[in-house]
Amino acid sequence: MRRLNRKKTLNLVKELDAFPKVPESYVETSASGGTVSLIAFTTMALLTIMEFSVYQDTWMKYEYEVDKDFSSKLRINIDITVAMKCQYIGADVLDLAETMVASADGLVYEPVMFDLSPQQKEWQRMLQLIQSRLQEEHSLQDVLFKSAIKSPIPLPSREDDLSQPPNACRIHGHLYVNKVAGNFHITVGKAIPHPRGHAHLAALVNHDSYNFSHRIDHLSFGELVPGIINPLDGTEKIAIDYNQMFQYFITVVPTKLHTYKISADTHQFSVTERERVINHAAGSHGFSGIFMKYDLSSLMVTVTEEHMPFWQFFVRLCGIIGGIFSTTGMLHGIGKFIVEIICCRFRLGSYKPVNSVPFEDGHTDNHLPLLENSTH
């Protein structure tokens, strides 16, 4: 009984076979079929390799939502060199809530030379080249996200001997401010807070010593995260007048970054630059200095690195192989059919009667005799 059940099951499975086997004696091969098969197999191999490279690659997905975090502090990372002595300038932050954050809370004033050494100039040139490429090709930022390159690369120390006294001041460090719009500025004199805001002791500084030529080696918001090149890194501005104002209008966007290498909360920003000479007689009012007015966006961006799932890769691969196999088979059949029609017409056109036998009524007999030689 078991053997009978096995035979019935085996016969049922054979009847469900969707791939019937044809005996080799019934299979006809041809040179055209072999050529089409080689082309099909080559195309399958190339597309399979390309599809596998796509499967290995990843892409960045951007999602937007409302930023609901208003209670935490915002960190500002600063590394700016101004072409004035440290005792002549002061840096601080004043936000819309009239809250002042002095530079003494986290910034360091370091006397340096404003002119860079050859190695430092090469570093600045490389950073400016990256910035120009990012402005032209925005997709490069995705590559930086995925590679998690440590950026910005710190400014290398001077390799030459410093024989001249320092003529500039490097202001570097970080400050924690409220998550509201504010103004980080560097101007003449040290800041003095008072109930209505703050003031700078600029009366003791001679106007001839004003020089707000500056170099921004690094400016970012939030925690330092590898893979982000900030828009102002490597910027250098040279003042054409001693009484000149440099303004940067910055829009900060909170960003959550999730890649296969890092996961962090940071901030990106866009910036608009403006500079003008202060001339009260011509109607250009203001104060000499460097002013960075920042505002926070209400939207938060979530950047996630995604990868093609294996089942999708398998389905696409089956579609490529099956599609090419079916398409080439159909094209080969259509081509063979057309060739047979053309060859058949040529054969019919080349077939002509050899001789004709006239009848008494003037008609001719176009039929060939069945036998050329007959014996009685």
275: left (phi over 0), alpha (psi -120 to 50) or beta: beta
Same domain, 154 and 205: yes
pLDDT mean over 109-127 = 85
Same domain, 267 and 180: yes
**How many other β-carbons are positioned within 10 Å of the β-carbon of residue 173?**
16
Same domain, 338 and 251: no
The reply to whether 2 falls in a domain is no
**How many other β-carbons are positioned within 10 Å of the β-carbon of residue 321?**
16
**3-state SS, residue 306:** strand
Phi–psi pair at 282, nearest 5 degrees: -90, 5
DSSP collapsed to 3 states, 260-283: CCCEEEEEEEEEEEEEEECEHHHC
Same domain, 323 and 180: no
The reply to whether 3 falls in a domain is no
| Contact between residue 81 and residue 114 where contact means Cβ atoms under 8 Å apart | yes
| Contact between residue 188 and residue 169 where contact means Cβ atoms under 8 Å apart | no
Parent domain of 83: 68-297
Determine the pLDDT at residue 145.
65
Picking from 93, 107, 289, the residue whose alpha carbon sits closest to that of residue 198 is 93
**pLDDT band (50, 70, 90) for residue 371:** very low
Dist CA 185 CA 250 (whole Å): 13
Same domain, 229 and 111: yes
What torsion, rounded to 10 degrees, do the Cα atoms 331, 333, 338, 343 define?
A: 140
Write down how long the chain is: 376
pLDDT higher than threshold 50 for residue 261: yes
Q: Structurally, how many domains does the chain consist of?
A: 2
Dist CA 18 CA 21 (whole Å): 10
**pLDDT band (50, 70, 90) for residue 10:** confident
Determine the pLDDT at residue 144.
63
Percent of the chain with pLDDT over 90: 12
The reply to whether 280 falls in a domain is yes
The reply to whether 355 falls in a domain is no
